[in-house]
Structure 1
Amino acid sequence: MADDLTPLASLSLTHVHYDPTDRISFLCAWLALVPQGLCVVYATLIWSTREIEIALLFAGQLACEALNFALKRLIKEERPRRMNGKGYGMPSSHAQFVAYFAISMTLFLLVRHRPPSPGVRRRNHTPMTMLERAVWSVACLVMAAAVAWSRIYLNYHTEKQVIVGSIAGAVSAVAWFIITSIIRQTGWLTWAIETPPARWLRVRDLVVEEDPCQAGWEKWDDKMTALKAQQKKKR
């Protein structure tokens, strides 16, 4: 009976090889999970905020992944000799993924995001300053660099494969930013948001001007302000 059992396969989506005696290797193993974590963040934010900008960012991320899939099978370059991964290695998908994300976030925070000017700011709206946005941009770039470096340290990719992956991700981010800017300027995005399916899904485009949690915070702050006013009248 045991001879008839079908051999089981391993789902290696989060299966990372590392040296258990090396603390840096252990850290790199966690860094290898950043793309999966970002996918969870994408899905959570898209569902909870219904922001079209986040959905567009994720669409570009998926297109970047499709490009990586095609490039690997076109170039067909093997991984390092002491190989710790399956499939082709050129370009590094991890490096390309995080490079796209980091550059896209930097372009959004420093170029596309336009918070209200001081003269039109609402009472309960405190937008990020340019310095804060710059700090977050640097944090994204440092994160991307750390993930890319970890792929070399864990022997999943060569330096060249990581560099090419980072360049491909950065170019994809810039290209997608230009495409989405054209879509915005030509009015196609506004048209899409006003279609019945988009309205039924409560799709919005507010994050360009304010924090995703701002709308909910304003309702809560207005409620608490009204409650305090009522308490004062009773005294």
Structure 2
Amino acid sequence: MSDEAPLASLSLTHVHYDPSDPISYLCAWLALVPQGLCVVYATLVWSTREAEVALMFAGQLLCEALNFALKRLIKEERPRRMYGKGYGMPSSHAQFVAYFAVSLALFLVVRHRPATPTGQRRRNHTPMSLPERVAWSLCGLGMAAAVAWSRIYLNYHTEKQVLVGSGAGRGQRGGLSGWLAWALDLPPARFLRARDLVVEEDLCQAGWEKWDDKMTALKAKKGLKNQ
């Protein structure tokens, strides 16, 4: 056994924190937010096939690639007391959550139009109002701020590294181009059932309409039998 190479650990979720400090413990959990968001991205892309979600995820991965390049270009070390490996400028956590929060806010407040083209609400659909969409946007931005602050509290990054990371994440977000409708009509996209409905619909709306229509028809059928 002594001749075997030593084993290495996969430190994807390995976080240093002070076990005697409850705030430090909370910050350790906040450090896992990017990993959790990746699971959410993958689940939504597979289950909804929405182009908007897939493009946002693609932008998120590009944001990570940009962070990888910037760290090796700037080569600024982490704070002295940090035992983590790699460079610290800019903060990848801050950049990740800043991109997500800004993308979510822009989508909910600017792009998302859940009402029907005629301006009439459907029988079985109550779209989110603008105040509700603003509230969810603020929740996303608050989450991003908490994650970014936790990196400073845990001594993984300096304030400057977090601010630069947040700025890079905000700047990475770009608009969608007009080729999306053309791309979604291509055979591979049609085979994968890709679509772009979430701008006008809620993610759960199509399935809910079918279910609500089915239950309405079933109740009507039972009512006729009871007469």
TM bin (shorter chain): over 0.9
- Paired residues for 1:55-204 under 5 Å: 55-117=54-116, 119-173=119-173, 176=174, 178=175, 180=176, 183=177, 186=178, 188-204=179-195
Which residue among 194, 198, 201 is the counterpart of 1:210? Answer: 201
Taking only aligned residues, the RMSD between alpha carbons, in angstroms, comes to: 0.9
Counterpart residue type for residue 229 of structure 1: A
Q: Aligned equivalents of 1:126 and 1:48: distance in 2?
A: 22
Letter in 2 for 1:205: D
Stretches of structure 1 lacking an aligned partner (at least 5 in a row): none
Count of residue pairs the alignment pairs up:
225
Determine the C-alpha separation between the residues in 2 that align with 1:25 and 1:116. 43
Query: Contact 1:80–1:155 at 8 Å: present in 2 too?
Result: yes
Q: Distance in 1 between matches of 2:83 and 2:111?
A: 39
SS at match of 1:62: helix
What is the CA distance between 1:106 and its match in structure 2? Answer: 0.4
2-structure distance, mates of 1:32, 1:137: 20
**Structure-1 residue corresponding to 2:216:** 225
Aligned equivalents of 1:48 and 1:164: distance in 2? Answer: 34
Q: Deviations over 1:57-114 (max 9, x none)?
A: 0010011111100100000000001113110000000000000000000000000111
Task: List 4+ stretches of structure 1 deviating above 2 A.
Answer: 117-121
- With normalisation by structure 2, the TM-score equals 0.97
Identity %: 76
How many Å separate the matches in 1 of 2:14 and 2:63? 22
- The residue correspondences of 1:33-44 to structure 2 (distance < 5 A) are 33-44=32-43
Q: Show structure 2 runs of 5+ residues with no match.
A: none
TM-score by length of 1: 0.94
Secondary structure of the structure 1 residue equivalent to 2:165? helix
